Chains A and B, each alone.
Chain A
């Protein structure tokens, strides 16, 4: 790789109380990469993801974004504008309509005028297949629709990377597909993505690289299909064996 990575972490450590969740993580994410973070629950993959946009502050180690060191504090707000995030539980704003959910940050953070924000939001809703639901309230939508709105809301900030934190785990099985389809589309268009997921088929098909975490360290990483089909470590073999 000639180009420097878009995101790097070096020696990232994070504890909650006396429990050390991350124990020295080095990670490189290149522009256009789709990196899937895999691992058993408690392995630290969600914490690592949340460190990337400083929702969690690492205790030790450094994060760079586009070559610049990312620090907690006032600069964190600027950093977060460029990093979209989608959560397991959607976290749409229930007091705002679908359209207002999308226009809030572009208007308040980027200073877009209402008309421009509206146009942008409608285009994004169209793109996630919800062009006709702009006036709806979040609670009127199905879980799958809410999650697609959440993706569109994050995209409205035109982020340079998207973080997905187990975004299909709270969905009924029949609604998982529509959300994955949107993510697959994003990957195809070249969006840089870091995805925490339990869905190995998604990691294999859409992921370009997988990073397997266990006990707060990276146990194995590599090209997605190759790594999942022929794991080199016993831990990953065991982990994949437990999945049905």
Chain B
């Protein structure tokens, strides 16, 4: 029995890992782009944009991610069923992206606000426009400051992709459920699944901590 389980693992784990990685990557990319846009609206001069982005963050952060995934795949999917059959992967990516964009926007906003006001004053005094100042002077410094926080979001996102099993994506958690139902070895199966997550998250967390340390050293040098 156990031998069969291992054989199943050998074929299924690489596939499931690939789904988990793809889902994390696509969702993170969407979350970063969308989050940056929301943050820029939030700190920008256009008042309706500021209000909308603040509202977005509040609404999205007030709804459990699990419910957002169900909402988009089953809820919105039902609404648009005449025109389009929702893809589980796309739905999950949008749900994760939309949700994480709210958190990532807050990180970017904090990053932008952490850049000394003198920086944008110096840029404006040189004749740079508001946009150029943001793009060339403020954002590069802001992003550098928030890289560790963004890394942590990536790790959290990776773990949250386990929720995507509810929309039938065959990622690691879905794989665990399938194999358990075939082999009736839940302890073994879930131990392996947990191990797979750790194999991904531990190196990532370690990389984030390393980056954090390196940036701290550099920041200390700046303030000399």
Taking Cβ atoms with an 8 Å cutoff, the residues of A that contact B are 53, 55, 77-78, 80-81, 83-85, 87, 89, 91-95, 104-105, 108-109, 138-139, 150, 153-154, 157
Contact = CB atoms under 8 A, between A and B. Distances in A.
Interface residues of B, number: 22
Interface stretch (B20-28, B87-95, B122-130, B173-181): B122-130
Given A77-B127, A85-B125, A91 B136 contact: no
Contacts of A77: 124, 127-129
Contact of B140 (A91, A95, A108, A139): A95
- The B interface is mostly helix, strand or loop, or mixed, namely helix
A109 B127 contact: yes
A81 B119 contact: no
Contacts of A84: 125
A179 to B, nearest CB: 16
A81 to B, nearest CB: 3
Contacts of A154: 125-126
Contacts of B141: 93-95
A55 B128 contact: no
Given A55-B125, A104-B126, A154-B126, A91 B132 contact: no
Contact of B122 (A78, A93, A95): A93
A81 B125 CA distance: 7
B128 A91 contact: no
Given A80-B124, A81-B126, A94-B222, 15 more contacts: A77-B128, A83-B125, A84-B125, A87-B125, A89-B118, A92-B122, A93-B123, A95-B144, A105-B128, A108-B132, A109-B126, A109-B128, A138-B222, A153-B126, A154-B126
A75 to B, nearest CB: 12
21 contacts: A53-B125, A55-B124, A55-B125, A80-B126, A81-B127, A84-B125, A87-B121, A92-B122, A93-B123, A93-B137, A95-B140, A95-B144, A104-B136, A108-B128, A108-B132, A108-B136, A138-B222, A139-B222, A139-B223, A139-B224, A157-B127
